[in-house]
Amino acid sequence: KEVTFIMVKPDGVQRGLVGEIIKRFESRGFQLVGCKMMSPSKEHLEKHYADLKSKSFFPGLIKYMSSGPVVAMAWQGKSVVKTGRAMLGATNPLESNPGTIRGDFCIDIGRNICHGSDSVESGKHEVELWFGEKTEDYSLCTESMIYE
């Protein structure tokens, strides 16, 4: 089953958008299989963002991401990685379409309120990195109403 790692970043938590973001994924029909509020260490964030290490904005990104608690989530469903990214909107909120999470709720690229895995591979990898083996294995009783 396809999983993606979705995180409400510190600005999203501070701005009271946790419920809104969860609501959109739930309403769409995706299944929540992991959820926790936590304050990730800088070391953990450096692992999560390892591919961005050489970027000039990297130190600022780590500072921002460790400025307060985040809500880490694992979501499951058909095409949840690609669809999740579409629901988040473009990385730069000024380029995100209205109707997307970033397009509706934020302005700056360095304060873009949420994270979503960018490939099926990184979805698996990031869920493993943030949750280990501790995601839930269950089926929704509405499954036959969501999937043909």
Write out the binding residues for ATP: 9, 57, 85, 91, 102, 112
Contacts of 92 (CB under 8 A, 6+ apart): 109, 112
Cβ proximity of 49 and 11 under 8 Å: no
Binder to ligand GTP among 100, 116, 127, 135 (CB under 6 A)?
Answer: 116
Q: What is the dihedral of CA 123, 125, 130, 136, to 10 degrees?
A: 70
Contacts of 105 (CB under 8 A, 6+ apart): 12, 15, 17, 20, 113
Stretch that binds ligand GTP, among 11-19, 24-32, 35-43, 105-113 (CB under 6 A): 105-113
- 115 classed as catalytic: yes
Which residue intervals of 89-141 are DSSP H helices? 101-105, 120-131
What are φ and ψ of residue 70, in 5° steps?
A: -120, 165
Out of Mg ion, ligand GTP, none, which partner does residue 91 contact, by CB within 5 to 8 A per kind? ligand GTP
Binding mask 108-137 for Mg ion (x = CB under 5 A): ----------x-------------------
- Residue closer to ligand GTP (CB basis): 86 or 109: 109
Binding mask 40-79 for ligand GTP (x = CB under 6 A): ------------x----x--xx------------------
Catalytic residues: 115
